[in-house]
Amino acid sequence: GKGGIGKSTTTQNLVAALAEAGQKVMIVGCDPKADSTRLILHAKAQTTVMHLAAESGSVEDLELEDVMAIGYGGVRCVESGGPEPGVGCAGRGVITAINFLEEEGAYDDDLDFVFYDVLGDVVCGGFAMP
């Protein structure tokens, strides 16, 4: 959907309601602005997978605990990050982050729901993978 119409706010409110209902939920922010988890974490912006990978040298140098924060109601929060809007390919950052989460076993726990809050722009490479 179009930017600024409330996708992230709606997602975070739905995630919070599910957590209050006792569901185990993870939210993965897939927008370079890294604002998909702000309400859940009561914070400005979570440090992104891509930022942490750049600081450490590569995504392989990260641990799951480095990129995942626990927010309201026990919601697990991750922000993929990526280039500034309009510069570079946001899709690559998202794919890198999702692959990292899979490799580190982030989805192995007994999660009831995983939400991916994606940006509204057309992304080079898209989000579909073979």
Per-residue pLDDT of the chain (130 residues; tens, 9 = 90+): 566 777 888 999 999 999 999 999 999 998 877 889 999 999 878 999 988 998 998 889 999 999 999 999 999 999 998 766 566 666 777 888 899 999 999 998 799 999 999 876 655 555 554 4
Residue positions annotated with a catalytic role: 2, 7, 33, 121
The domain 7-118 having CATH identifier 3.40.50.300: the answer here is yes
The percent helix, strand, coil of the chain (3-state, each to 5) is 40, 15, 50
The residue ranges of every structural domain in the chain are 7-118
Mapping DSSP onto H, E and C, the string for 61-98 reads: HCCHHHHCEECHHHCEEEECCCCCCCCCCHHHHHHHHH
Matching residue, tokens 């510069």 = 87
